[in-house]
Amino acid sequence: MDKSVEQRDAIEITGLRYYGYTGYLAEERMLGQWFEVDLTLWVDLVAVGNSDRLEETLDYRQLVDRVRHHIETAKVNTMEHLATQIARSILECDQAQKIRVRLTKVSAPIPDFSGKISVEITRSLSDFFNS
């Protein structure tokens, strides 16, 4: 794929919110908490832009389902690991060449802290799959 196309075209999916069981504390993995996810996927949109054929772009429903599945079923210690699992799963789709995952813990169990905690990772196919 031409690098200029990879950087030029992107699809963003934002505001995904699911209840999950990721966290360092055992209570977080048992009781759960809310997570939010924003995705940026770099893809070549030239063909679908010219043809208007759905099969030439990503299936957004499939991507949303993959994120939901990982959030709702993973019981891991770190948000970094969960974000990496999400990235790997989505890059298995044919058209995605690179992804940014922003994973936010909406209400982190930190005393006297009312903010949010987020991790953001950017991964490409070569980070997971040997071409």
Mean pLDDT of 6-15: 86
Active site residue 75: no
Residue 74 has pLDDT above 90, yes or no: yes
Which letter does DSSP use for residue 115 in this model? S
Host H or E run for residue 19: strand 10-20
DSSP for 49-99, please give it.
HHH--GGGS--HHHHHHHHHHHHHH---S-HHHHHHHHHHHHHTSSS--EE
pLDDT band at 95 (very low <50, low <70, confident <90, very high): confident
Mean pLDDT of 42-70: 93
Other CB atoms within 10 A of residue 100 CB:
17
> Catalytic: which of 75, 98, 105, 116?
105
Mean pLDDT of 47-69: 93
pLDDT, averaged across the chain: 90
pLDDT at 131: 53
